[in-house]
Amino acid sequence: MSEEPQLNAAQLEAVTTTEGFVRVIAGAGTGKTRALTHRFAYLVNDLGILPGNILCVTFSNKAANEMRQRIRRVTGDNDTGYICTFHSFCVSVLQEDSHAVGYPQSFLVLDNADIDAMLQVIYDERKITLREKTFSKARDMIEILKTIERPDYYIDLISLPLAELKQKYLDARKVDDIIFYGYLYQQKKCFGLDYNDLIIITLHIFDHFPDIALKWQQRLEYVMIDEFQDIDALQIALMEKLVEYHRNLFVVGDPDQTIYTWRGADVRYLLDFADAHEGCKTILMTENYRSTPEVLGVANSLIEKNKQRIPKRLEAQRDVHGPTVWYHAKSPEEEAAWIAEGAQKLHEAGVAYRDMAVLYRAHYASRAVEEALMQAKVPYTLYSGVPFFGRREVKDALSYLRFVAYQDDLSFARVANVPKRNMGQRRMAFLREWADEHECTLYEALEQTIDDEIFKRTKAKQLLALVERFRGQFEGRAVSDVMAAVLNESGYDRMLRTEGSQERLDNVAELKQSIYEFETTCGEEVTLEHYLSHVALLTNADAMDGAADKVKLMTIHAAKGLEFKHVFLCSMSEGVLPSKKTRTREQMEEERRLAFVAMTRAEDGLYLTEAEGFTHKGTPRYPSRFLLDIDPECLMFSHKPDQTALEAARAAYAANDQWIAGMSTDVRFRQGSRVRHAVFGEGIVEEIDMQKRAYIVRFDGLDTTRAISFRVKLEKA
Ligand SMILES: Nc1ncnc2c1ncn2[C@@H]1O[C@H](COP(=O)(O)OP(=O)(O)OP(=O)(O)O)[C@@H](O)[C@H]1O
């Protein structure tokens, strides 16, 4: 093991206990990621295990990239095996074995923009309006149906012939059914899989094709999983399946950093892991190497207020001291100005801007800070808003790549008229009709009808010529090279230059750069299929450019796993953090963990800020209860909070707690639950309206939803 400094005793134990079930419960900043990297290196360098026989699951693609680079440094080997997220691992499985369910190797991984494009087709065909259901609501509904209501949906998706799926879609009468079957039909047409499908279909293959399951089980001699506190039921099922043969499983997590319960994560899997796996060894890590004793004092005293937790205290290993401040401002503007000024002062004292971060609970909190930073001429980047891979020009560029590779309907629809080729709605509708009638793709329809009158005076022929030029030319050619060529030859580059948007040009340049980096860091040779299926999984965080000297602004969720010298945690007001959407005691504890995650990102300085004034609803704004949870001995105050104000704040927390206590007993069903009403019959809870104290239920027998008061007894269906 070459990387300095030395591992501590607990880390060493985690690294060298390779056989059987091992669980590491570790605090923030105690070197989990470091232990994981070294364990990988130990398996490879000291035990001689082949990297291709190790699966190391990370929480995000960004974490996977970093891990891969670190492992390459310590093993000196380009082959880094499977270091990836669960989703990305499933893509690898499906690329090898999706033939088992009749899917081609060139299946598509769909992101939200792709799903929206499919919804658009369905809405147009069946005259559904956005007023009936926005795309985002439709996507949520599809997700609820897939994960809770109709978990067997995927059988239809993989085994029904296209014509039958289409018939189900055409026969559907209720809006939700039209959307759902329309979507499944669209998915099947282009062999597209969304996030929900990836794990479910992989599991299905493992369950029904024992030889394929055995192949993967035998291949993966060692499995390691990071951030285990945020694992969900499907991921657990996949994990259990994968380790059935060798039974070597190493999981590491921090119960105090569970922040994804709202997405189905359950910390129980980590807590119950030892009971569920015979002979499991547990290792505890509490020595913190990241933060000053002051930062840990703040974080420890906060998290101790959670009731549902395994007690543990982070112990500072660093003997460097730094500020931990509560700044109370008179207005949000003053709060933001203080942050901007603070960043400037730190910079003057020699701290690089890139080593500072401003974190917040919700996106909207960033606006005031951004304005202040702009005014103070402090450089910053925002890691939120429209994700990089969701930007129009980035999607367009990727669609071109997909188009020359697959000619699927989605990419065809996206690129056909960008740049303008006179292929507007009327001509697209013509192609759709033709394709439907002849059961072919839009591209094939164009090939067949290119000499039709309708395509005179269009540049449709150029589109066909473009594909012809690229067809069969990918083998052995770098993806970055293909991308550059297709953007040039399609006229897309020229269009952007004429349009003159520097931002769009920069984004495309950034995309080209990221493809190049992907190729050079991936180890093995990157094929176009490989790149396309992985890029769909990339998130905003992946585009994060850590090199530029700029202050980083991001949500706490996005800061998971990161560390910064100085952290400003802004908008620490009751109703923001904890969020006003907090409805149960469990959720309140999760909000506290969120604050804990934010604070434990700080190495040298931590600045907690909030402002008085009024919320947009006109109620007074109070400091977050979490500020009062912190041991005051651990904080420096900009102003000592005044006693009457504190009493008013405490009264507000108490009122809120009382409301939550009432809610917890009232709310018996979750979004997506199936319920039975004495008169209306069965239906599904679409929303829970806390203000009205009612479930918004879509009953099977009614066309529109009804708000049903908590007072009326509903039964579980
Ligand atoms: N044994 C050690 N000696 C010195 N420094 C260490 C040691 N182990 C880890 N560190 C340092 O401590 C910091 C935190 O380590 P790491 O990022 O691995 O922690 P983590 O447990 O994954 O954190 P979190 O859960 O909060 O994201 C890093 O800067 C790392 O270099």
Q: Spell 557-579 as b/e; 16+ CB within 10 A means b.
A: bbbbbbbbbbbbbbbbbbbbbbb
CA distance 432 to 439: 10
- Mean predicted confidence (pLDDT) in 659-664: 72
CB 691 within 8 A of CB 164: no
| DSSP designation for 527 | P
Contact 28 CB / ligand 1 (< 6 Å):
yes
- Token look-up 């319960």 returns 261
CB 56 within 8 A of CB 80: no
Q: Which atom of ligand 1 is nearest to the CA of 257?
A: 25
Residue 562: phi and psi, rounded to 5, are -95, 170
- Token look-up 């992989």 returns 202
Around Cβ 582, how many Cβ atoms within 10 Å?
Answer: 20
- Mean predicted confidence (pLDDT) in 633-657: 86
The pLDDT value recorded for residue 542 is: 46
CB 14 within 8 A of CB 39: yes
- Mean predicted confidence (pLDDT) in 560-582: 91
The pLDDT value recorded for residue 104 is: 87
Answer CATH for 298-386+546-662 from 3.30.360.10, 3.40.50.300, 3.40.50.2300, 3.40.640.10: 3.40.50.300
Helix residue ranges per DSSP H, 439-542: 442-449, 460-470, 479-489, 492-499, 502-521, 528-535
Angle at which helices 135-144 and 175-189 cross, to 10° = 80
Q: Kindly tell me if the per-residue pLDDT of 192 is higher than 50.
A: yes
The pLDDT value recorded for residue 2 is: 45
pLDDT, tens digit, 9 for 90 and up, residues 461-475: 999 999 998 887 777
The pLDDT value recorded for residue 664 is: 63
Q: Kindly tell me if the per-residue pLDDT of 89 is higher than 70.
A: yes
Q: Kindly tell me if the per-residue pLDDT of 675 is higher than 90.
A: yes
Put the strands of the sheet holding 706-709 in their side by side order: 706-709, 694-699, 681-689, 674-677, 715-716
How far away, in angstroms, is 27 Cα from ligand 1 center?
10
Based on DSSP, count helices (H) and strands (E) in the chain, helices before strands: 30, 22
Task: Check 66, 114, 197, 227 and give the catalytic one.
Answer: 227
Q: Kindly tell me if the per-residue pLDDT of 54 is higher than 70.
A: yes
- 634 or 497: which carries more pLDDT confidence? 634
pLDDT, tens digit, 9 for 90 and up, residues 383-435: 755 556 767 888 899 999 999 988 999 899 999 999 999 998 899 999 999 99
Residue nearest to atom 5 of ligand 1 (CA): 289
Q: Kindly tell me if the per-residue pLDDT of 362 is higher than 50.
A: yes
The pLDDT value recorded for residue 43 is: 94
- Mean predicted confidence (pLDDT) in 604-627: 88
Around Cβ 92, how many Cβ atoms within 10 Å?
Answer: 17
- Mean predicted confidence (pLDDT) in 309-337: 92
The pLDDT value recorded for residue 3 is: 47
Task: Parse the chain into domains and list their residue ranges.
Answer: 9-94+202-285, 108-190, 298-386+546-662, 388-537, 673-716
CB 631 within 8 A of CB 301: yes
Q: Spell 624-656 as b/e; 16+ CB within 10 A means b.
A: bbbbbbbeeebbeeeeebeeeeeeebeebeeeb
| DSSP designation for 191 | T
Adjacent-strand bridge partners of 569: 359, 608
Q: Kindly tell me if the per-residue pLDDT of 487 is higher than 90.
A: yes
How far away, in angstroms, is 294 Cα from ligand 1 center?
17
The pTM is what? 0.78
For residue 9, give the nearest of 28, 29, 30 by alpha carbon: 30
The pLDDT value recorded for residue 583 is: 80
Any binding-site annotation on 26? yes
Q: What is the ipTM of this complex?
A: 0.96
The pLDDT value recorded for residue 547 is: 65
Q: Is 709 helix (H, G, I), strand (E, B) or coil?
A: strand
CB 454 within 8 A of CB 430: yes
Residue 575: phi and psi, rounded to 5, are 100, -20
Look up 33 and say whether it is catalytic: yes
The pLDDT value recorded for residue 541 is: 44
The pLDDT value recorded for residue 529 is: 80
- Mean predicted confidence (pLDDT) in 474-485: 85
pLDDT, tens digit, 9 for 90 and up, residues 38-51: 999 999 999 999 98
Burial class of residue 592 (count of CB atoms within 10 Å of its CB; 0-12, 13-18, 19+): buried
| DSSP designation for 639 | S
Q: Is 36 helix (H, G, I), strand (E, B) or coil?
A: helix
Q: Which atom of ligand 1 is nearest to the CA of 227?
A: 25
Contacts of 226 (CB under 8 A, 6+ apart): 32, 33, 36, 56, 57, 58, 59, 63, 67, 252, 253
Contact 291 CB / ligand 1 (< 6 Å):
no
Residue 688 structure tokens: 């829970």
**For the residues of 219-245, what is the DSSP string, one character each?**
H-SEEEESSGGG--HHHHHHHHHHTTT
Q: Which atom of ligand 1 is nearest to the CA of 226?
A: 22
CA distance 56 to 224: 5
CA distance 250 to 265: 18
Residue 322 structure tokens: 């730094």
Task: Check 66, 226, 591, 603 and give the catalytic one.
Answer: 226
Domain 388-537 in the same topology as domain 298-386+546-662: no
The pLDDT value recorded for residue 663 is: 67
What is the bridge-based pairing of β-strands 602-611 and 564-569? Answer: parallel
Answer CATH for 388-537 from 3.30.43.10, 1.10.486.10, 3.90.550.10, 3.40.190.10: 1.10.486.10
Lowest-confidence range among 306-315, 374-383, 502-511?
502-511
Residue nearest to atom 25 of ligand 1 (CA): 28
- Mean predicted confidence (pLDDT) in 575-585: 85
Place 607 in a pLDDT band, splitting at 50, 70 and 90. very high
Distance separating the N- and C-terminal Cα atoms of the chain: 57
Q: What Rg, from alpha-carbon coordinates, does the chain have? A: 27
Which class in CATH covers the domain with range 9-94+202-285? alpha beta
CA distance 345 to 216: 55
Q: Kindly tell me if the per-residue pLDDT of 364 is higher than 70.
A: yes
Q: Is 48 helix (H, G, I), strand (E, B) or coil?
A: coil
- The percent of residues above 70 in pLDDT, for the chain, comes to 95
CA distance 38 to 25: 17
How far away, in angstroms, is 384 Cα from ligand 1 center?
26
The pLDDT value recorded for residue 545 is: 55
Look up 226 and say whether it is catalytic: yes
How far away, in angstroms, is 345 Cα from ligand 1 center?
27
Place 1 in a pLDDT band, splitting at 50, 70 and 90. very low
- Mean predicted confidence (pLDDT) in 257-265: 82
Question: Interior CA angle at 339 toward 334 and 342, to 5°?
Answer: 120
Burial class of residue 367 (count of CB atoms within 10 Å of its CB; 0-12, 13-18, 19+): exposed
pLDDT, tens digit, 9 for 90 and up, residues 133-186: 888 889 988 988 888 788 889 999 998 999 999 999 999 999 999 999 999 999
CA quadruple 365, 367, 372, 373: dihedral, nearest 10 = 100
Contacts of 608 (CB under 8 A, 6+ apart): 324, 325, 326, 327, 569, 572, 599, 627, 635
Average pLDDT over the chain, rounded to whole? 88
Q: Kindly tell me if the per-residue pLDDT of 704 is higher than 90.
A: no
Residue to mutate (ligand 1; options 8, 30, 604; most atoms within 8 A of CB): 30
CB 450 within 8 A of CB 427: no
Which residue type is seen at 65?
Answer: N
CA distance 657 to 584: 9
- 663 or 188: which carries more pLDDT confidence? 188
The pLDDT value recorded for residue 513 is: 77
Alpha-carbon distances of 621 from 331, 538, 627, 652, 670, rounded to whole Å: 10, 37, 14, 10, 30
CA distance 392 to 398: 10
The pLDDT value recorded for residue 535 is: 78
How far does CA 517 lie from the centroid of its chain? 21
Q: Kindly tell me if the per-residue pLDDT of 34 is higher than 80.
A: yes
Task: Check 202, 257, 258, 600 and give the catalytic one.
Answer: 257
Q: Kindly tell me if the per-residue pLDDT of 274 is higher than 60.
A: yes
Look up 456 and say whether it is catalytic: no
Residue 218: phi and psi, rounded to 5, are -70, -35
The pLDDT value recorded for residue 16 is: 96
Q: Is 384 helix (H, G, I), strand (E, B) or coil?
A: coil
Q: Spell 254-265 as b/e; 16+ CB within 10 A means b.
A: bbbbbbbbeeeb
Around Cβ 35, how many Cβ atoms within 10 Å?
Answer: 27
Q: Kindly tell me if the per-residue pLDDT of 60 is higher than 90.
A: no
Task: Check 34, 62, 593, 601 and give the catalytic one.
Answer: 601
